[in-house]
């Protein structure tokens, strides 16, 4: 995510205590994962006592829940920022989305540890499941809009095309490839991930994306 922020550093002087603790939670998850992240460890990253932290949050689960909402929305806004300037060229918008998924800065074990922690909590927390569903739908809506715009601009008929299913498939494919890239960067390189993504997406959509 190239927006000037380092998500894995904590500004201990941040006067916004809630944001400070969210940043510290993300940093702890990135370095230690879910199991080894504790209220005390989060407090250490924030440079405060555990007592001050629990004045704002009831405990580890609430901290992770709030951090999930913040983290997910950051990535959603980053995604929208990248594709909005491409609204006159939907094929290029799709290409930017595909390639940014495997940007070196984002294929990092730290991101994986954070997301794994969030997904674990999502399974047990109803409000997080709802937040996940809402953010997921925004991604699918955006991808479907890009597909429809691409078909229209390049004079493809939309008749018989299930753009919703295509959007869901593209999102799931890129998510899965990103996960494999993080888990095994040597066996599943950025280049290989991109090749696979383009091959399947071009085949399923009928659009020429990488050959432009």
Is residue 25 one of the residues assigned to a domain?
no
Strand segments (E) across the chain:
none
C-alpha distances in angstroms, 78 versus 4, 33, 66, 132? 11, 24, 19, 16
- The residue length of the chain stands at 212
Is residue 2 one of the residues assigned to a domain?
no
Domain range for 75 is: 67-205
Is residue 169 one of the residues assigned to a domain?
yes
Is residue 189 one of the residues assigned to a domain?
yes
Q: Quote the CA–CA distance of 210 and 212 in Å, as a whole number.
A: 6
pLDDT digits (tens, 9 = 90+) for 141-164: 999 999 999 999 888 888 878 999
Give me the pLDDT at residue 103, please.
85
Is residue 114 one of the residues assigned to a domain?
yes
Is residue 126 one of the residues assigned to a domain?
yes
pLDDT digits (tens, 9 = 90+) for 63-121: 998 999 999 998 888 888 888 766 678 999 999 999 989 888 788 888 888 998 888 88
pLDDT band at 10 (very low <50, low <70, confident <90, very high): very high
Q: Quote the CA–CA distance of 7 and 178 in Å, as a whole number.
A: 18
Whether the pLDDT of residue 179 is over 50: the answer is yes
Read off the pTM.
Answer: 0.85
Is residue 29 one of the residues assigned to a domain?
no
- Domain with residue 169: its CATH number is 1.10.357.10
Q: Once rounded to an integer, what is the mean pLDDT over residues 44-66?
A: 91
- Domain count across the chain: 1
Is residue 143 one of the residues assigned to a domain?
yes
């Amino acid at each position: 995510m190239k927006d000037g922020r380092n998500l894995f550093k904590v500004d201990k002087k941040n006067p916004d205590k809630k944001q400070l603790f969210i940043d510290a939670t993300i940093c702890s998850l990135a370095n230690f994962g879910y199991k080894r992240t504790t209220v005390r460890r989060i407090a250490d990253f924030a440079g405060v006592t555990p007592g001050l932290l629990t004045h704002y949050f009831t405990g580890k689960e609430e901290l992770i829940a709030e951090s999930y909402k913040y983290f997910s929305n950051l990535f959603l806004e980053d995604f929208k920022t990248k594709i909005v300037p491409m609204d006159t060229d939907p094929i290029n918008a799709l290409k930017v989305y595909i390639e940014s998924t495997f940007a070196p800065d984002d294929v990092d074990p730290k991101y994986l540890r954070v997301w794994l922690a969030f997904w674990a909590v999502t399974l047990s927390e109803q409000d997080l499941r709802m937040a996940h569903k809402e953010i997921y739908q925004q991604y699918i809506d955006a991808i479907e809009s890009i597909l429809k715009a691409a078909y229209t601009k390049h004079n493809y008929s939309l008749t018989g095309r299930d753009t919703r299913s295509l959007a869901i498939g593209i999102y799931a494919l890129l998510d899965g490839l990103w996960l494999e890239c993080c888990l095994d960067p040597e066996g599943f390189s950025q280049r290989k991930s991109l090749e696979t993504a383009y091959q399947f997406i071009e085949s399923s959509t009928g659009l020429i994306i990488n050959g432009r």
